[in-house]
Amino acid sequence: MDKKYDCIFLDRDGTINIDPGYISDVKDFKFYDYAFDALRVLSKLSANFIIITNQSGVARGIIKESNLIEINEFIFKSFVENNINLLNIYFCTDHPENATSRRKPDIGMFLEASNDFNIQLSNCLMIGDALTDILPAVTLGMDSMLVLSGRGKTFIESLDEGFKPSYVEENLLIGARKLVK
C-alpha cells in the first residue's frame, strides 16, 4: 500500500521548473517536460499540493514583485489545466542576509500552510532540489525527497546523517514513480 499524505509540498525552481537563475518574467518560466506527468502520479498519494519557494530576487532588485505574482498566476492556471489541486504558493522574498523565519530552511511558510489548511505536517512530503528544502522537512518530521534536477547534485555530498532526505531521486517523475509502486 502506497503511503498517503495530507499534502505534498514542492519547491519551485529546479524541482518543477527549469532553473536558469532568477526568473523575472513569466515568458522565462518553463516547467520541466515531465512535471505534470509526475504530479499526476503523485496525486495518487495526495490530493493536495503546495509550493513553498524562496524568491530573494525580489529583495535583490532582480525580480519585480508584480512579475512574481504573474508567474504564480501562470503556475496556478497550469495546475488547474492539468487537474492538479494546488492549494497555494507560499513565497518568501527575503534577502538571505536579512531573513525572517519565513525563509527556508526555516519553517515559517510551512507553519502558515499548516494553519491555513489544517494540515498535519508530520503526514506530509516535501520535494525539493536543495538542502534548504530538506532541512525544514526533517525539522518538522515530514518525509522528504531530494531531486537531483536543478541544484540537487551539488547538495548530495553536503547531507549529514541528521539531515538525510527520505528519498534521493534523479528528478520529480522518477521519484514519483518510485513512491507509487
* Percent of the chain's residues with pLDDT above 70: 96
**171 vs 42: CA distance, rounded Å:** 13
Taken in order 32, 38, 42, 43, the sign of the CA dihedral is positive
In a 13 Å sphere around the CA of 78, the CA atoms on its Cβ side amount to: 19
With CA atoms as reference, report the closest residue to 68 among 53, 82, 81, 80: 53
Reported as a single tens digit per residue, the pLDDT across 93-103 is: 999 999 999 99
| pLDDT at 37 > cutoff 70 | yes
Reported as a single tens digit per residue, the pLDDT across 42-61 is: 999 999 999 999 999 999 99
pTM: 0.95
Q: What is the mean pLDDT of residues 50-79?
A: 97
Residue 155 confidence class, pLDDT cut points 50, 70, 90: confident
What pLDDT was estimated at residue 25? 97
| pLDDT at 159 > cutoff 70 | no
Query: Domains along the chain?
Result: 28-179 (3.40.50.1000)
What pLDDT was estimated at residue 161? 64
To the query of whether residue 13 is one of the catalytic residues in this protein, the response is yes
To the query of whether residue 11 is one of the catalytic residues in this protein, the response is yes
Cell, residue 30: 518553463
Set 13, 19, 129, 143: catalytic member: 13
Set 11, 19, 106, 143: catalytic member: 11
What pLDDT was estimated at residue 150? 84
| pLDDT at 126 > cutoff 70 | yes
